[in-house]
Amino acid sequence: MSINTETILVIDDKKNIREVLKDFLETEGYMVVTCGTGEEALNLIEENLPDIVLTDFKLPGIDGIELTRKIHVLNSEMPIILFTAYGSISSAVEAIKAGGYDYLTKPLDYDLLKIVLRRALDQKLIKQENLLLKEEVAKRFNLDKLIGKSRAMQKLFSLIKTVAASSSAVLIEGEYGTGKELIAKAIHRYSDRQGKPFIIVDCSALPEGLLESELFGYERGAFTGASNRKKGRIELAEGGTVFLDEIGEMSLALQSKLLRVIEEKQLVRLGGLHPISIDFRLITATNRDLKSEVVSGNFRADLFYRLNVIRVKAPALRDRKEDVPLLVDHFLAKFNRQEGKSISGVRPDAMNMLLSYNWPGNVRELENCIERMSVICPEKELDTEYLPQEIKEAAALHYGSTEKVKVAVAEGIQDMDRCFNIDADSYTYTGSYIDSTGNMHLDRVERETVLKALEKANWNKSKAARLLNIDRKALYNRIKKYNLL
């Protein structure tokens, strides 16, 4: 009993050979389709018939090499086995280089054919299974639109799912661009409020009066210009979720009004008399430390405790750099689609620099960086020369006196100028970094970079150290080394 079930396409211009092969392979359990030319074969493959191709090398019309190439354009995973006369083995080798799987010499050894076929088909299967596994893994690194494989993000994903099941208020804290809005959306999407509205209000975008009427709505005649009744955003969220972004920016007066709405689950429109009951879940976000805002009197303590029932911290990108390559792939795919490009990845040198950078603007900064690079890069892979200046700057210093700084300046001295923003008039750089023997003077690069950072930071050392992505001690050492004070 045979377990072979795949379909084999046999191509040979001689009818008797096709038939002998067909008989043999069918007794082995395979399904067999035959044809006499490469052109016919390509049509059959386009119709997605076979799992594997078995072909004579010498055919009328296109030969084995060309056929192999053409098949791989249609289907890069298709295994192709060629058979050839002893005299033309070298051409068969060429066909293997063009993507063929293996070749057999004529007259065919049927036992060998059986083994080679089975092995090729099994390998194809394993490849496909690996691909599926990869997709499975990718799913684990993805929650709604949030991406991350780091421990911090994996923990965040499970927290989101747990939190989603409850109706408690959630306070999301995190720096700029860490994905606070995405987290809020994911909580809503995983909750049973999912089919109901998700309403976003950015508390920093509107002046106090407008924010109030936007949140609570108003009755006709409530104020000059209120010619019609208008429902507020909270009311519009009935049954769903309200996401108040930048809650730290809300005035104290409005904070107490919001507190009342949360406590009573009712609101009164501006100029209205009757309270309206509303069922909504509240999620807030801030990039401030709300607790210290409470201490300094800028935020009401009672409201803080109401909002902070569940606290979710969005981790900074610099604390989970293992997510950088994953995010890069994600954004590359997005901008490839958007820009109609086919950039396949990032060269290792450039990836090292992306990994060494501090990402003060977090994922948003990374996203913008990849977008910009995708637009300007004409090549298949993103290279160091397309990195934004601040990343080159940081990398040059980060790799300081190692060989790797060459990466940062590989484009040559002219790019150093751009890279470090050196004013050509006040600084004659020609030959300064690279001497006549072509050796680079890394200390000059380093000195210049430290100086630039200090100037940029108005000689605030903590700030300069942050710009350079080094700690204060390392900065002091360099200031001393280069006599910069």
Q: In 10 A of CB 316, how many CB atoms?
A: 18
H/E run at residue 82? strand 80-84
Q: Give the burial string for 420-455 (b: 16+ CB within 10 Å, else e).
A: bebeeeeeebeeebbeeeeebebeebbbbbbbbbbe
Radius of gyration of the chain (CA): 33
CB of 433 to ligand ATP, least distance (A): 36
Cα angle value 357/360/361 (rounded, 5°): 115
Residue 333 CA to residue 340 CA, distance in Å, equals: 10
Q: Which x/- pattern, by CB under 5 A, does the window 126-165 give for Mg ion?
A: ----------------------------------------
CB neighbours of residue 364 within 10 Å:
15
148 binds, among Mg ion, ligand ATP, none (CB under 5 to 8 A by kind): ligand ATP
Nearest distance in Å: CB 365, ligand ATP: 9
Interacting stretch for ligand ATP, rule CB under 6 A, among 96-104, 119-127, 213-221, 362-370? 362-370
363 binds ligand ATP (CB under 6 A): yes
Neighbours of 69 (CB within 10 A): 14
* Whether the Cβ atoms of residue 93 and residue 101 lie closer than 8 Å to each other: no
263, 300 in Cβ contact below 8 A?
no
Q: Which of 50, 148, 248, 400 binds ligand ATP (CB under 6 A)?
A: 148
Stretch that binds ligand ATP, among 17-25, 48-56, 175-183, 436-444 (CB under 6 A): 175-183
Beta bridge partners of 8: 32, 52
Nearer CB in complex with ligand ATP: 66/144: 144
For residues 57 and 335, which CB has a smaller minimum distance to ligand ATP in the complex? 335
Q: How far is the CB of 279 from Mg ion (least distance, A)?
A: 25
Q: Which is nearer to ligand ATP, 70 or 291 (CB)?
A: 291
CA angle, 423 then 452 then 411, to 5°:
65
Residue 477 to residue 466: CA distance in whole angstroms: 15
Q: Which of 173, 212, 249, 367 binds ligand ATP (CB under 6 A)?
A: 367
Looking at the Cβ atoms of 40 and 202, the one nearer to Mg ion is 202
* 177 counts as binding ligand ATP under rule CB under 6 A: yes
Q: Which is nearer to Mg ion, 181 or 393 (CB)?
A: 181
Contact stretch for ligand ATP (CB under 6 A) within 36-44, 92-100, 169-177, 469-477: 169-177
Q: Binding ligand ATP by CB under 6 A: which of 9, 32, 45, 182?
A: 182
Nearer to Mg ion, 181 or 365 (CB): 181
Q: How far is the CB of 187 from ligand ATP (least distance, A)?
A: 12
- Residue 84 in contact with residue 103, Cβ under 8 Å? yes
Least distance in angstroms from the C-beta of 173 to Mg ion: 12
Task: Please answer whether residues 168 and 309 qualify as being in contact, where contact means their C-beta atoms are separated by less than 8 angstroms.
Answer: yes
Residue position matching structure tokens 């309270």: 275
Question: For every residue of 150-165, which 3-state class applies, written as one string?
Answer: CHHHHHHHHHHHHHHH
- Name the phi and psi angles at 31, rounded to 5: -90, 140
- The 171-190 site mask, x for binding Mg ion (CB under 5 A), equals ----------x---------
In whole angstroms, give the CA distance from residue 140 to residue 133: 11
User: Among ligand ATP, Mg ion, none, what does residue 178 contact (CB within 5–8 Å per kind)?
Assistant: ligand ATP
**Do the beta carbons of residue 92 and residue 103 sit within 8 Å?**
yes
- Of 174 and 232, nearer to ligand ATP (C-beta) is 174
Contact pattern from residue 305 through residue 324 relative to ligand ATP, giving x for each residue in contact according to CB under 6 A and a dash for the rest = ---------x----------
Partner from ligand ATP, Mg ion, none binding residue 146, C-beta < 5-8 Å depending on class: ligand ATP
Structure tokens at 383: 């290279």
Residue 446 found at the interface with ligand ATP (CB under 6 A): no
Write out the residues near ligand ATP by the rule CB under 6 A.
Answer: 145-148, 174, 176-182, 287, 314, 327, 363-364, 367
